[in-house]
Amino acid sequence: MSSPAVTAEIGDLPETSALSSGATVWLTGLPSAGKTTVARAAADRLRANGRRVEVLDGDAVREHLSAGLGFSRSDRETNISRIGFVAELLARNGVLVLAAVISPYESARSEVRNRHATNGVPYLEVHVAAPVEVCSSRDVKGLYARQRAGQIRGLTGVDDVYEIPAEPDLVLRTESLSLGESVDQVLTLLAKRGLL
C-alpha cells in the first residue's frame, strides 16, 4: 500500500506529457530479486499520473536487440551497453526510463552512468538487493533449478560473479519490503532528486 506522502507527491503531477525531465532509473540485482516487478509497478503508478515512462526489461531487450549475444562477460557487457544507450536516448528526450537489468559488472554499469553524465541526463542506480537464497526460492524463470540440475552454467550470483554496487542511490531489500513499499521508495528517490 502506498504511503500518503508519496501518493500526494505523485498525485500533483500534471496530467499532460509536457514533463520534459527524463531520467534513467537503473535497477540492478540478481535474477529473481524483483527488478522487473518493481519497475513495472512503479511505471504503472507513474503512468496513472500522466508521466511518460518506459520499462526496459533486460530479458526482453536481449531477445529483440541483442538476440545474437550469449552470456560471456563480453556479450553481457555489450548487452548492458546497448540497453544503456537506449535508456539514455529515451531519457534525453523526456522519458522516465526504468531499466531492470541484472548488469553484474561494475565497469559496465559505470559506462552506462558515464554515458548519461556526458549527455547531462539524470541517472539513478537502485540495487535490488535480495539474497541469493531468497532469489533461488522465488526462481521466477526456473534458472536456479536449471543450474542445480547442471543444465546451465554461469548463473549470476551462483557460479558467476555479481559485483555489488558500491554506492547505489537506493538499496531495495525486497526480501523484507512489500511491492508497494519498494515502489514508494523508488518514487520517493525520484521526488527527492526533483524528477517527479
Residue pair 23/96 in contact (Cβ under 8 Å)? The answer is yes
> What are 196's three cell numbers?
517527479
Residue pair 31/102 in contact (Cβ under 8 Å)? The answer is yes
From 103, 107, 110, 178, the catalytic residue: 103
Residue pair 143/160 in contact (Cβ under 8 Å)? The answer is no
**Number of residues assigned to the chain:** 196
Q: Is 74 considered catalytic here? A: no
Residue pair 34/183 in contact (Cβ under 8 Å)? The answer is no
Task: Sort 17 into a burial class: Cβ within 10 Å, 0-12 / 13-18 / 19+.
Answer: exposed
> What are 110's three cell numbers?
559505470
Please give the positions annotated as active site. Answer: 103
